[in-house]
Amino acid sequence: MNSVSPSAAQYVGGVMQDELMEGRRQQQQPLDRQGSFGLRTPQTLDPSSRDATGEPDEMDRLKAKLMSAWNNVKYGWTVKSKTSFNKVSPVTVLGHSYLLNSEDEVERFRLAFVSRIWLTYRKDFPQLEGSTLTTDCGWGCMLRSGQMLLAQGLLVHLMPRDWAWPDAQQLTDVDFEVFRPRSPARAGGVPIPSFGSPRGSNTPEKSPPSEQRPKCSQKKRPESVRDRQAEPVHHRLVTWFGDQPSAPFGIHQLVEVGKSSGKKAGDWYGPSIVAHILRKAVAKTSALHNLAVYVAQDCTVYKEDVVRLCDLSLSQNPPDPPSQAWKSVIILVPVRLGGEALNPSYIECVKNILKLDCCTGIIGGKPKHSLYFIGFQDEQLLYLDPHYCQPVVDVSQVNFSLESFHCSSPKKMPFNRMDPSCTIGFYAKNKKDFESLCSAVSEVLSPPQALSSSKEKYPIFTFVEGRGQDYGLEGHSSNNSGPAAHILPPGRLGRSNNRRNSDEFVFL
């Protein structure tokens, strides 16, 4: 895996020192003097340096490109991006498996990855209320990861089964390679032309001319009429995450919702608080009437709470027809998988969760560096990285470009680098799916008896009958105190009366 040098950023008090300092400088500077990512970009103010159309001259464009490249490295995006996969082990992506030993399988994996919604840092969006910030660069990565988790749930909810983005074919650069694990030299890897770059001039690697590309780059999956017909829904879904105040799941709305938990623009958000922000944002919007979000409490999914949230026949105004009597549900489960580091005993369980069709991914990352995990190969997680700052896209325009909302660079990291604090997502379309979800997830949560060190088992989280206490988002305020979230065996739930910060967990 390619990574940024540890010397590129120092972490202090839960937030990168560089990011904190940049955030302070952004607030101190007048808006008209902020350049890329909210940073002051050296530019001449002499009108003679512009051409007659008001366009920047070549020197300004070069400076902007250099500043953009530098800040993307600084904020965690890897400029050099070619990830290696092997042909022997399957790659799992959100419940689907791909063995990269043929062109067809590589193409299936490519489409599966590119079709995920990619939401990253943006710059030059409308000012966030109560601040001078016009970018979330340096502080909004967990909100962006949460957006991607929600977006995947909406893709499953609204799009045809196994939908693939039809325009993914336009992304044809070589951004990863497949090799045999025991090859004498890595250089002998077989490059697979799969991904193109939406990053334009910021990408250091150029595509080879079409006549020089390997023949497999010309191979295309036949376009599905069903997938093409779903494109208006795809566009509408992306507009809900637009960087403008009116977007129901955009950065402006999420920051506004987060104020009830004591958070504000520029703060660092944990995976547990983001889960509650997403829940409240979905409940608040009128864009979705048949979808609810449930957030587990203290590593426990209370089935009766889910039923009361989803079963509309229990309401005073039951729907007509009765077939619409159950809301689809996204279930978010904040957990902590260890103390200061990931407990290796949970790695196999995380793998099994990502193999489930009902799983929508995991938000977490490396310490203080949020990522959205969508799969794995062997002992490495596959993820989408929000740490790439792109110009804002005006999603109110008809047929705006979707290219910057789909990632061309699959990335991996070892499981042992995963931060133990994370939130796991699931989706159930109807009551039958919810019952199947409970059964399937409970099965993978129970460790094999041979791995248990005692008679009692300690799953990551549990499903139980009955109802739990409703803490809500306000109960996760950084200024509030209350019982901590525990990882407890069945039968010992709810004994703690001492709640601390929402992202603190007691690991037993």
Residues acting as catalytic residues: 141, 385, 387
Place of tokens 């950023």: 9
In the chain, the amino acid numbered 460 is: I
Largest pairwise CA distance in the chain: 79
**What is the Cα 178 distance to its own chain's centre?**
25
Q: State the DSSP string of 116-127.
A: S-----EESPPP
Could you tell me which residues come within 8 angstroms of residue 232 by beta carbon, excluding any fewer than 6 positions away? none
- The candidate with the shortest Cα–Cα distance to 371, out of 402, 427, 409, 338, is 409
Phi, psi of 113 (to 5 degrees): -75, -50
Please state, in angstroms and rounded to a whole number, the distance separating the CA atoms of residues 134 and 397: 20
As given in the structure block, the two tokens for residue 169 are 């074919």
- The candidate with the shortest Cα–Cα distance to 499, out of 487, 486, 490, 508, is 486
- The candidate with the shortest Cα–Cα distance to 299, out of 437, 193, 445, is 445
Please state, in angstroms and rounded to a whole number, the distance separating the CA atoms of residues 217 and 210: 9
Helical residues (DSSP H) of 417-491, grouped into ranges: 431-445
User: Taking the chain, what is the end-to-end CA distance rounded to the nearest angstrom?
Assistant: 32
β-strands 328-336, 15-16: how paired?
A: unpaired
3-state secondary structure of 299: coil
In the chain, the amino acid numbered 397 is: Q
3-state secondary structure of 90: coil
Please state, in angstroms and rounded to a whole number, the distance separating the CA atoms of residues 134 and 144: 15
Q: Is 10 exposed, middle or buried (0-12, 13-18, 19+ CB in 10 A)?
A: exposed
Could you tell me which residues come within 8 angstroms of residue 440 by beta carbon, excluding any fewer than 6 positions away? 356, 358
454-493 per-residue burial string, b: 16 or more CB within 10 A, e: under 16: eeebbbbbbbbeeebeebebebbbeeeebbbbbbbeeeeb
CB-based contact 464:303 (threshold 8 Å): yes
